[in-house]
Amino acid sequence: MILKLLLGCLALFLGQTNARMTTEPDIIDLRFTEENGNCSVSVISPSKIRGELRLEGFDLESGETIDGGVTKSGSMVVPHDKAKAVRWTASFTDKKTGQSISKSFIPKYILTPAAPKSPRYNGPSVFGVRPGSPIILRLAFSGERPMSFSVEGLPEGAVIDAREGILGGKVSVPGDYNLTLVAENEFGTCRQPFTLRVGPKIALTPPMGWNSWNCWGLTVSQEKVISSASAILLKGLADYGYNYINIDDSWEADTRNADGSISANDKFPDMKGLGDWLHGHGLRMGIYSSPGDRTCGNYLGSLGHEKQDMETFNSWGVDYLKYDWCGYSREFDKNPDKSIASFVRPYLKMEEFLRAQPRDIFYSLCQYSTAEVWKWGHAVDANSWRTTSDIRDTWAFLYDIGFVQQAPLYPYSQPGHWNDPDMLVVGQLGWGAHLRDSRLTVDEQYTHISLWCLLAANLLIGCDVSRMDDFTVALLCNNEVLAIDQDPLGKQARPVIVDGDIQIWSRPLSDGGTAIGVFNLSEEVRKVDIGRYLEQLSLSGTVRDLWRQKDIAPGSYWIAPHGVRMLKIK
Ligand code: GAL
């Protein structure tokens, strides 16, 4: 009876229907699942099938194989250690036919070493503010709280909140102020040289923060914004410089007010209150609009109300405007003039009102790269411009947007004006009410963040931060990796070696060093002779592995499929 029951359970298990065609024997698949840090593998088949499931690991650091065991039960736990990159291959052999299938999977592994308990500065070494504009800068120090903060050399008008570490106030006299940021807790003191540059330029390093689109799409609400902003503070992402909190499309009311002004819909009951709350935590507020009469999501756009809308945004405390072409197409089509000037016009118009506001507003152009925006974006004083259409969380998008489309654009990025290859697609995403894990593999995610940092790209987290797991926090909070994105020289990387599926991207850094990304674009694990490539590039010196935060010998290293080694040579 018991045997019958057991067989029944096995048949039930083996009878799951969501199989897909793979190799022989027909309609059997192997599926790895990873949830809450636990990983397992199962045989999926629509019919009753018996055989042996075997698991073998390949340690990507040492190159050693690991015996993961064997079972006849149709599923097994993957013995996974989060600190190790191991490629597990499961093989199932059908008892009746002797035929087998196999599949490989790399569970999430964390490379970023834990931050010390003592204060450590993780932000950029320079910050630009216009004379007289409010400074809103949460100093990016990690370490145990409570922590106290002070600033040496603070110019007149600037103030520091000693408890929260928020630099505020206004400085009216232009100039470079060389400060020392000081953070102290029971474990130690950190002193960080820092330049406050009061002048015409803002965004001297690429913006970092969060945007609602890739997670919530048109279902975003004030509550959801606050939930991710709170998590940015609580999970320590603000201690690494993530400070813009950007509301994307669907905040707008259905109709304008009698005086023509715009207001928010019911999902955002108090925009000014939200702005004040963000500023109180040293975070900045971002908003979305369109030069058209409607936005991409068919909400109200700013056409004909540009000045009024900018004034409203200013009154809410907006620090970032994403200005999305989309609905402007109808206006554009009315005019037979298709010269560059007609692409520039709506952005130039908004620029006038945006820069007239008594606060610094990051101007983000979103027109998916039409009319080679990188050639004129700086002329409308844009702080960044989208260089692509919308990103999605697949390797095809990452490869095309990241590697193919950005390769020729390196000459156009510079402090104050950045190429924007779109927002990050790691963590829980969904573009709507239902969120799910990013579909990128763990190594594709390392590649994504490495490449975006090498590209000096905007780093706008696109996921629900309140549901962010430890892996994603560690992925987004590696201070040595982020330092490449935030390097004040602001030079975007370019591909310097393309050797089949191996690509080397490189960018010069302000301290004389060079950042390198060694990417394996193939579907296979590859042993890559990094030393040989460095020689080819005439690069010598200490080789620092930025993800692992340790110096390494310039030898050969295993790189996972679609994976990366990110290095600094100094
Ligand atoms: C698209 C834009 C997206 C998002 C969306 C909102 O045009 O590229 O990033 O802002 O509109 O409707």
C-alpha to C-alpha distance for 125 and 488, rounded to whole angstroms: 7
Asked if residue 229 lies in contact with residue 283, where contact means CB atoms within 8 angstroms, the answer is yes
DSSP helix/strand/coil, 10: helix
Closest atom, ligand 1, to C-alpha of 288 = 10
Residue 309 catalytic? no
Q: Is the pLDDT of residue 10 over 80?
A: no
Give me the half-sphere count of Cα atoms (radius 13 Å) on the Cβ side of residue 570. Answer: 13
The rounded Å distance from CA 373 to ligand 1 centre is 17
pLDDT tens digits, residue range 290-299? 999 999 999 9
- Give the atom of ligand 1 at the shortest distance from the alpha carbon of 368: 8
State which ligand 1 atom lies nearest to the alpha carbon of 297.
12
pLDDT at 487: 98
Pocket probe for ligand 1: among 248, 289, 424, the residue whose CB has the most ligand atoms within 8 Å is 248
Active site residue: 390, 469, 501, 545, which one?
390
Judged against a pLDDT cut of 50, whether residue 460 lies above it is answered with: yes
pTM, to two decimals: 0.95
Ligand 1 centre and the CA of 37: distance in Å? 33
pLDDT tens per residue across span 347-385? 999 999 999 999 999 999 999 999 999 999 999 999 999
| Pocket residue to mutate for ligand 1, from 296, 299, 420, most atoms within 8 A of Cβ | 296
Residue 405's pLDDT is what? 98
Outline where DSSP puts E strands in 230-290: 244-246, 284-289
Q: How confident is the model at residue 469 (pLDDT cuts 50, 70, 90)?
A: very high
| Ligand 1 atom 8: residue of nearest CA | 390
Span 123-132, average pLDDT: 98
CA-closest residue to ligand 1 atom 4: 213
Kindly give the distance from the C-alpha atom of residue 462 to the centroid of ligand 1, in angstroms, as a whole number. 12
Give residue 325 CA to ligand 1 midpoint distance, Å. 9
Closest CA to 217 of 416, 429, 530, 520: 429
Beta-carbon contacts of 256 under 8 Å, excluding residues fewer than 6 positions away, are 262, 300, 305
3-class secondary structure, 349: helix
- CA of residue 334 to ligand 1 center, whole Å: 22
pLDDT for the residue numbered 27: 65
Q: Which residue has the higher pLDDT, 23 or 143?
A: 143
pLDDT tier, 37 (very low <50, low <70, confident <90, very high otherwise): confident
- Rounded Cα distance, 64 and 66, in Å: 7
**pLDDT of 13 higher than 80:** no
**Ligand 1: which residue has its CA nearest to atom 3?**
390
For ligand 1, mutation pick of 369, 390, 393, 429 (most atoms within 8 Å of CB): 390
Q: Does residue 25 have a cis bond before it (omega within 30 degrees)?
A: yes
Ligand 1 pocket test, pick from 210, 211, 213, 320 with the greatest ligand atom count within 8 Å of Cβ, gives 213
Ligand 1: residues within 6 Å at CB? 213, 248-249, 288, 295-297, 324, 326, 366, 390
Pocket residue to mutate for ligand 1, from 220, 290, 366, most atoms within 8 A of Cβ: 366
| Summary mean pLDDT of the chain | 95
Phi (first) and psi of residue 330, to 5 degrees: -60, -45
Task: Give percent of the chain with pLDDT exceeding 90.
Answer: 92
Ligand 1 centroid, distance to 56 Cα (angstroms): 43
Determine the atom of ligand 1 nearest the C-alpha atom of 322. Answer: 10
pLDDT at position 26 is 59
Atom of ligand 1 nearest to the CA of 217: 6
User: Among all chains, which residue has been given the structure tokens 């409308």?
Assistant: 380
pLDDT of residue 41: 97
| 324 is known as an active-site residue | yes
Which of the four pLDDT bands, split at 50, 70 and 90, describes residue 14? very low
Any bridge partners for residue 372, and if so which?
none
Q: Is the pLDDT of residue 445 over 80?
A: yes
CA of 503 to the centre of ligand 1 (A): 31
Query: What ligand 1 atom has the least distance to the C-alpha of 295?
Result: 12
Q: Is 183 helix (H, G, I), strand (E, B) or coil?
A: strand
pLDDT digits (tens, 9 = 90+) for 48-73: 889 999 999 999 999 999 999 999 99
Answer yes or no: is pLDDT of 16 > 60.
no
Q: Mind listing the pLDDT tens digit for each residue in 202-249?
A: 999 999 999 999 999 999 999 999 999 999 999 999 999 999 999 999
Q: How far is the CA of 435 from the centre of ligand 1 (A)?
A: 18
- Given a cut of 50, whether residue 23 has pLDDT beyond it is no
Taking CA atoms only, the protein residue closest to ligand 1 atom 6 is 249
Q: Output the residue whose Cα is nearest ligand 1's atom 1.
A: 296
Residue 2 pLDDT greater than 50, yes or no: no
In the predicted structure, residue 3 carries a pLDDT above the cut 90:
no
pLDDT band at 85 (very low <50, low <70, confident <90, very high): very high
The Å distance, Cα 341 to ligand 1 centre, comes to: 23
CA 538, distance to chain mean position in Å, is 31
pLDDT in tens, 507-548: 999 999 999 999 999 999 999 999 999 999 999 999 999 999
Q: Minimum mean pLDDT among 84-98, 185-199, 387-401, 411-425: which range?
A: 84-98
Strands across the sheet with 158-161, in order? 137-138, 166-169, 158-161
Residue closest via CA to ligand 1's atom 9 equals 390
SS3 labels along 404-456 = HHCHHHHHHCECCEEEECCCCCCCEECCCCCCEECCCCHHHHHHHHHHHHHCC
Q: What is the pLDDT of residues 474-499, one digit of tens each?
A: 999 999 999 999 999 999 999 999 99
Which amino acid residue places its CA nearest to atom 11 of ligand 1? 296
What separation in Å is there between the alpha carbon of 204 and the centre of ligand 1?
25
- Residue with the smallest CA separation from ligand 1 atom 5 is 296
Q: Which atom of ligand 1 is nearest to the CA of 248?
A: 10
Pick from 3-12, 335-344, 461-470: least confident: 3-12
Q: How far is the CA of 88 from the centre of ligand 1 (A)?
A: 38
In ligand 1, the atom with minimum distance to the C-alpha of 366 is 8
Bridge-partner residues for 288, per DSSP? 322
How confident is the model at residue 96, as a pLDDT?
Answer: 87
Ligand 1 atom closest to residue 325's alpha carbon, by position in its atom list:
7
Q: What is the reported pLDDT for 47?
A: 83
Choice among 309, 324, 360, 464 that is catalytic: 324
